Chains A and B, each alone.
Chain A
């Protein structure tokens, strides 16, 4: 059982991700925006983070850029992005993101990815 943070401002999408990952038997923490995500990442240690790119307060990218390197090394970061643009991906990769899942995403795909990486 892994400790996972799900950060997305859309409640419904968050529910979808949480349900999917809970079914895998993981312990899930939720964050409603970038600020909350950053706060939780600094307070707790997570095995995996599902981070939405477009969020109020702080974007996913900004959250990553504000995180200490140590945390980024210890945590697997999956970025959810609706903007499947290379430049955004490049910046996210630079900032420490490992995997990308494009919206609209398939819960099955996410499930497979999480299973694979953990």
Chain B
């Protein structure tokens, strides 16, 4: 800010005035001080002089009095000492007088001093010597007279005068003090007056200074307030020549400048406002353009990415309507009868669909578009007042050949289509045509691709297609399963899938070499490689074929065929061939060898016989082997016919037991605890199974012992067990026991023989019947072969109770070779809760009865054995433990009165008789035997 230089400076004026003022005060103060000091000095001097004079007067008086005191004493006592004192007093008086005389004396004092001086002179020189003379003369009278002549009076008056003078001096002194005091008071008042003057002057000066500074500042404050309010300001102080004036002027200048600036700013502001409005308009325009461009780009995006026809149509139709606002529009596909409509009612759409469009099509073939302006119908007008024009616009969508395949129609009410609009819509239609064509092609491709993928996925073989770098581009479901891969749309790099495959393959190196060869070598041959998975679950053959497209190699197809079954079959086949050849060779060797010996050598007859029987045995073994083998092959091939019928397995078991009735070394029995034994099965085959098992049991218990067929029910199955007390089966052999040619080869079994196919045949048959076969065994403790067959009818387990007094599971032994009778009895007894044990051999039966002590024994007298029924009865009766057991004779062709008598038999029956009679008799007998008639033997009544 600029300052006008001020001609009068407040600062210099203030300094100058202050200086004068201070100087005045200093001078005045000095004068007053000097005056007061001087006055005080005068008084002090005066007082000192008076004090001195008073002291001198007092000295004189005292010296005088002392003198006369001593004089009188001398007069009285004539003492020399007093005389000396007198002389001393005189000297002192003289000194005092001199001192007094030196002072500035008043006239009376002068006269006193002179008179005293005179007196003293007289007294010393005259009076005293005379007096002394009197004293020395001892003339007291004379002395007294002398003294009284006037000397004494003189002295007294002098003393008195001296005293008066001294009094006068003290009075003067007192006066002097009073004066000094009053003057001093006056001085204090003077000094105070001066101080007051200084204070007043300063007050006045300050007031003046303030009034000169504050007023203009207040004025400026008010002015600045005014300025803030936006008013023009005029500051009075501006006319002043001092700093305030300068300030005020600056202020005025400033306010003026500010006002000017403000006005300028306002002007600029207005200009800016105007510009902004312009910009906003432009921006609006741009925004609109941008939206349009956005939509265009979205449209393009849609056309390039939406390959699905339906979605493409929907979104493109929406865009067209957004870009060129229509009140109504429809895009109609002629062939598909498909459409996209906006603003149209259902009736409108139906009307359009049904309308004959051929005239439109014909016209649009010639013209790019048809534009119709017409009067809007009342319905179209809506709430509009007055006439409204409706603008219809039609155009066609043409394919590459110019064939129209879709129509586009739109309508605006009161808002015509510009040329630009129409051109743009037309160009859009060609885009739509392209997009639709593309989406049709895409649909076809997708369908074709899906079809080929579906075909691939339905192939059992895993298939993968890899590109030149080995990356897996396509694969089927089986491939994913094989690789345990999740289906990914992305290519799987070679190292990934190949790594996985190699990791899982047992023949890793060979497989890797195969892949490398396929991927790196130019070959048109199909190569293959077999490998097994490390977990042993599968054997796979992979075939690789290079794929060429117009002589350019595009990749490789690998097909993985699961060869596990084939591989296993191969292995089995070759094993079988080797085993069979071995099995066949041995008997053949024997036959050939011994025949050769017979033919070529002279042999003794017994040796010839031995050889011939050996040949016969071996030939039979060979036959059995071939039969078993063929049987099994037939069964496995499924070509073995099964004659399924309702079959009572207990009858089958009885037949098997019957078959072995001549077996002496082993005690065969059939223990039936089942409540139901009817199955659906092939009698012959199941008979074969049981026979096989029993014959194995006999064979593999070379030391003899019990062989028991045991029936029971388990759930809805019949459980059959064949138990022996033979060699047993080592645990490691159990699993493979039912496989073909699995004989347990050890020295104990070596000579037992067999084809090694029996159990495999058993398993085959049992499994064909929906059953299961297994073995439980302990080496050296015998074995139990079990098989279970589903029961024919799902019979419910009957609650069977043993007759009162019999322990649960009490047994009845039946020794009967008529199986049907035995079975009938068995059925009856089992229904009453008895356990039925069948025997065919009376000797075996006897041992069993002695051991188990059954509830009753049923015996057939005609057993056709060395020991017949009667022998058995006799032995039982002789035995202490068994003679109480009731015995029922089931058949008695040989009625012997002798025997009847011997055993006290009351009656018996001859066959044929109703079997139920026997059962009834049996039960009655059993029950009665609980009472008195112990050990009764019962013949069935023949009547």
Judged by a CB distance under 8 angstroms, whether A108 is at the interface is: yes
Contact of B746 with A82 in the complex, beta carbons under 8 Å: no
Identify which of A15, A33, A103 contacts B586 (C-beta below 8 A): A103
Judged by a CB distance under 8 angstroms, whether A29 is at the interface is: no
CB distance from B699 to the nearest CB of A (A): 16
Contact of A103 with B750 in the complex, beta carbons under 8 Å: no
Judged by a CB distance under 8 angstroms, whether B851 is at the interface is: no
Q: Which positions 53-85 of chain A face chain B at CB distance < 8 Å?
A: 54, 56-57, 82-83
Judged by a CB distance under 8 angstroms, whether A2 is at the interface is: no
Given contacts A9-B750, A15-B614, contact A20 B597 (CB under 8 A): yes
Residue of A nearest to B597 (CB): A107
Residue of B nearest to A33 (CB): B747
Identify which of B581, B593, B617, B747 contacts A32 (C-beta below 8 A): B747
Identify which of B585, B590, B745 contacts A16 (C-beta below 8 A): B590
Interface size band for A: 20 to 34
Identify which of A11, A57, A104 contacts B593 (C-beta below 8 A): A104
Main secondary structure of the interface of A (DSSP, over half): loop
Interface size band for B: 20 to 34
Given contacts A23-B601, A33-B747, A108-B600, contact A13 B582 (CB under 8 A): no
CB distance from A74 to the nearest CB of B (A): 28
Contact of B597 with A11 in the complex, beta carbons under 8 Å: no
Q: How distant is the Cα of A27 from the Cα of B742 in the complex, in angstroms?
A: 36
Contact of A106 with B751 in the complex, beta carbons under 8 Å: no
Judged by a CB distance under 8 angstroms, whether B311 is at the interface is: no
Judged by a CB distance under 8 angstroms, whether B589 is at the interface is: yes
Contact of B585 with A104 in the complex, beta carbons under 8 Å: yes
Contact of A104 with B588 in the complex, beta carbons under 8 Å: yes
Identify which of A13, A32, A33, A83 contacts B589 (C-beta below 8 A): A13
Q: Which residues of B contact A32 (CB under 8 A)?
A: 747, 750
Contact code string A83-118 (vs B, CB < 8 Å = 1, else 0): 100000000000000000001111110000000000
Judged by a CB distance under 8 angstroms, whether B339 is at the interface is: no
Judged by a CB distance under 8 angstroms, whether B119 is at the interface is: no
Contact code string B85-100 (vs A, CB < 8 Å = 1, else 0): 0000000000000000
CB distance from A10 to the nearest CB of B (A): 5
Q: Which residues of B contact A20 (CB under 8 A)?
A: 593, 597
Given contacts A54-B582, A56-B750, contact A16 B594 (CB under 8 A): yes
Judged by a CB distance under 8 angstroms, whether A12 is at the interface is: yes
CB distance from B873 to the nearest CB of A (A): 45
Q: How distant is the Cα of A20 from the Cα of B596 in the complex, in angstroms?
A: 11
Q: Which residues of B contact A12 (CB under 8 A)?
A: 586-587, 590, 614, 617-618
CB distance from A100 to the nearest CB of B (A): 14
Residue of A nearest to B601 (CB): A23
Given contacts A32-B750, A106-B592, A106-B596, contact A13 B586 (CB under 8 A): yes
Q: How distant is the Cα of A5 from the Cα of B614 in the complex, in angstroms?
A: 23
Residue of A nearest to B588 (CB): A104
Q: How distant is the Cα of A54 from the Cα of B582 in the complex, in angstroms?
A: 9
Judged by a CB distance under 8 angstroms, whether B578 is at the interface is: yes
Q: Which positions 33-51 of chain A face chain B at CB distance < 8 Å?
A: 33
Contact code string B598-615 (vs A, CB < 8 Å = 1, else 0): 001100000100000010
Contact code string B555-597 (vs A, CB < 8 Å = 1, else 0): 0000000000000000000000010011001111110111011
Q: Which residues of A contact B618 (CB under 8 A)?
A: 12
Contact of B586 with A10 in the complex, beta carbons under 8 Å: yes
Q: Which residues of B contact A11 (CB under 8 A)?
A: 750-751
Q: How distant is the Cα of A50 from the Cα of B593 in the complex, in angstroms?
A: 16
CB distance from B364 to the nearest CB of A (A): 87
Q: Which residues of A contact B578 (CB under 8 A)?
A: 83
Q: Which residues of B contact A106 (CB under 8 A)?
A: 592-593, 596
Given contacts A56-B746, A107-B596, A108-B596, contact A82 B581 (CB under 8 A): yes
A residues adjacent to B (C-beta < 8 A): 9-13, 15-16, 19-20, 23, 32-33, 54, 56-57, 82-83, 103-108
B residues adjacent to A (C-beta < 8 A): 578, 581-582, 585-590, 592-594, 596-597, 600-601, 607, 614, 617-618, 745-747, 750-751
